[in-house]
């Protein structure tokens, strides 16, 4: 919880924890992109530079806070932050401005790890496959998070794998 705002990690991860390979997702699941849009719309999103580069642009209807130590070419709509505190401050301001009650942590792996202590909830699309990858979501230790639900999702005709929607909540200290 940050200043009365929930911090929610939104991620698609394979059964083996893979979230990426060569700065891309090693699956094609268009139905999850619609879900991602619905879950993140109207909320500030914190992501790393490489995640922004893999998406290619800022997403409509969401403030995009990009955490990077590098000077990057300006991306229309991106709000740059140099460290976690600055990213949190900018995301909290954006959330209040929009009337949102959540800040979304949108990846990649380094960003998930950096914000791990602040994450209240995880909304995970579990890709039912075990692809090769070079980027992994942090392990969900049972002592840290409790799975609230795990529901199969209808597989779209263009989806390369079946998926489940899994919701986790941080256990109280």
pLDDT per residue over 22-31, tens digit each?
988 999 999 9
Q: What is the pLDDT of residue 30?
A: 92
Helix (H, G, I), strand (E, B) or coil at 6: strand
**Measured distance CA(46)–CA(80) in Å, rounded:** 10
19 is a domain residue: yes
66 is a domain residue: yes
Which residue in 138, 163, 168 sits closest to 36, CA to CA? 163
Kindly report the CATH number assigned to the domain that includes residue 112.
3.40.430.10
**Measured distance CA(21)–CA(69) in Å, rounded:** 22
Q: For the chain, what is the domain count?
A: 1
Q: pTM to 2 decimals?
A: 0.93
58 is a domain residue: yes
> Burial code of 70-100, b = ≥16 C-beta within 10 A, e = fewer?
eeeeebeebbbbeeeeebbebbbebbeeeeb
pLDDT per residue over 40-55, tens digit each?
999 999 999 989 888 8
1 is a domain residue: no
Q: What is the pLDDT of residue 1?
A: 65
Helix (H) or strand (E) holding 103: strand 102-105
**Measured distance CA(169)–CA(142) in Å, rounded:** 11
Contacts of 38 (CB under 8 A, 6+ apart): none
Q: Are 120 and 8 in contact (CB under 8 A)?
A: yes
Burial class of 118 by CB neighbour count within 10 A (0 to 12, 13 to 18, 19+): middle
Q: What is the pLDDT of residue 73?
A: 66
* pLDDT tens for the chain, residues 1 to 173: 677 899 999 999 999 999 999 988 999 999 998 899 999 999 999 999 989 888 888 888 999 999 988 776 667 788 999 999 999 999 999 999 999 999 999 999 999 999 999 999 999 999 999 999 999 999 988 789 999 999 999 898 999 999 999 999 999 76
131 is a domain residue: yes
Q: What is the pLDDT of residue 101?
A: 96
Task: Say how many residues make up the chain.
Answer: 173
| 163: containing domain | 6-170
Which residue in 43, 52, 35 sits closest to 153, CA to CA? 35
């Amino acid at each position: 919880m940050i200043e009365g705002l929930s911090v929610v990690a939104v991620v698609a991860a394979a059964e083996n924890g893979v979230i990426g390979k060569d700065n891309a997702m090693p699956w094609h699941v268009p139905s999850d992109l619609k879900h991602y849009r619905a879950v993140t719309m109207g909320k500030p999103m914190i992501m790393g530079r490489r995640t922004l580069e893999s998406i290619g642009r800022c997403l409509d209807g969401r403030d995009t806070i990009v955490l990077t130590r590098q000077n990057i070419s300006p991306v229309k709509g991106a709000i740059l932050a140099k460290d976690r505190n600055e990213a949190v401050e900018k995301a909290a301001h954006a959330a209040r401005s929009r009337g949102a009650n959540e800040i979304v942590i949108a990846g990649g792996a380094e960003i998930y790890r950096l914000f791990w202590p602040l994450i209240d909830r995880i909304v995970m699309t579990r890709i039912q496959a075990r692809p090769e990858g070079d980027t992994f979501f942090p392990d969900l230790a049972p002592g840290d998070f409790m799975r609230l639900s795990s529901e199969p999702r209808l597989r779209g005709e263009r989806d390369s794998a079946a998926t489940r929607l899994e919701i986790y909540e941080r256990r109280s200290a």
